[in-house]
Structure 1
Amino acid sequence: MADKEDAATAGPSGSSTGSAPAKMSRLNRLRDLELRMNEARKMNNREAAAEEDRKKRPENWEAKRKRSEWEEEQDRLKKHCQETGEDFNLVKLRDLGADEVERWERKKAKKNPDVGFADYEQATHRQYQRLTKQMKPDLTQYERQRERMGEEFYATANTLGLHQRKDPEDNVDKMVTDLEKQIEKRQKYSRRRRFDEEEDVSYINERNMKFNKKLERFYGEYTAEIKQNLERGTAV
């Protein structure tokens, strides 16, 4: 009787002893999944906190951070060059790639693009910037002229400036050349249409002339044959 009960408990192939490793394997897998879930939850919390911090930062925070890192790197490189006796500018240019140089040249070229006439204020400001960049003062001549003229060098309310000093011929030629360039540039920007005496008169006033030009521009290729027949009198 006892043998039958032991056989019934053990099963046909001793499953009680064989199920223990499978049960431990399932428990290990569950424990591994639980650890992974906890790790994923922690990572999500860290990412959410980091995202919240990024939202609170100013818009140019990332640019400022990169700028500060670049300045620190430049300071370290400058100190290293001073210690080794190398030229800092040459070392800095040596580390630049061809694509970076090209991108920097394009950025420098587009720094002050000429977009044409917008208003008189912008045109005057652009002209002032261009003229001041072209000016290269001769400090030696400046000091020499100040010593020669003395107190008359500094203008007052009674100074006319006609006989006290004389501009060099090179400066006068430079001014004339610049004025000629300005006149040529204004002629390119002019949108005034010149009157053509040989053009056929098909209007009765200026308003009708503009209207006819618009019609010709949009429908001229479709009505050219009709217009020619009307002019020849063969349209009837």
Structure 2
Amino acid sequence: MPSSLKRKGSPGLEDDVDSTKRHLSENESPNHDQDEAVPNLEHHSDEAPPSSSAATDRAARFAALRARNQSSRKANLAETRTEARRAAADPSQLQSLQRKKDIAEHKLLKADVEADGEDFERKRAWDWTVEESERWDERMKEKASRKNAVGFADYRKEAGKVYDRQIREMEKGKESMEGRRDAYEREKTEAIERSVRSGGLEIVETESGELIAVDKDGSFYSTADSTASFTNKPDKAAVDRLVADIRKAEEVRLRKRRERGGRDETDGDVTYINEKNKQFNLKLARFYDKYTSEIRDSFERGTAI
């Protein structure tokens, strides 16, 4: 047998002791690590409750914010729908519906009162005072007179109707109307005083004790033949109001003219028989005028020759 190969001997006592120590050390090391890890687990278990409570608070706040967001979104959506319905509704149509409702209620009340055998007009008059009833009767009388005088009589009456209508429009703004009336009275008084100082007018006391201003020939100051008002210079605001009234009257005149189917001054040759045919001809002109203008001009030149 070769000398390089030697038979391994059986382990001795010392080898058994060393192996036993190594085995014990290997078994003890995991236990040592486990013992060191136990305090860490206990430490983390002590800190766990604060972190969980903070997370719960954050979740509660987040849920509250989401609920507030949802409620705000629903409120905004409801407001948007309400605004859309209000914008889509026609005010004139709403007024018409309200008027029809009032008429229906009036007829229903009248039918109920007459069914009971009572006088409807007498019972309805209980809700009005004497002054209100007189004002209403006067208003109805004026309305009837305006309705009867709707036809054209002469230019003087027509101008008077326009003047009355303008005065009613001015009286709608009571504050501005009172201020203008006071300014007018003040300017009128100043004009009379200037005329008296210059000798153009005289202050005369009537039999009733009223003081009036008369010309040298004895005529009253505020007659239509007086020329003193020609020197009056209105302020810029009054001129602007006059211009606005003239423009408004012109717009009304043109609108009435269009409603009657009349021609505007800007129209050219009449190529239509009614408003619908006019719109159709305008549509054709937009698309085909560039092709037919030369032919039309040729026809016009031929007829002129």
Provide the TM-score with structure 2 as the length reference.
0.32
Report which structure shows greater RCO (CA 8 Å, sep ≥6). Answer: 1
With the length of structure 1 as denominator, give the TM-score of the two structures: 0.40
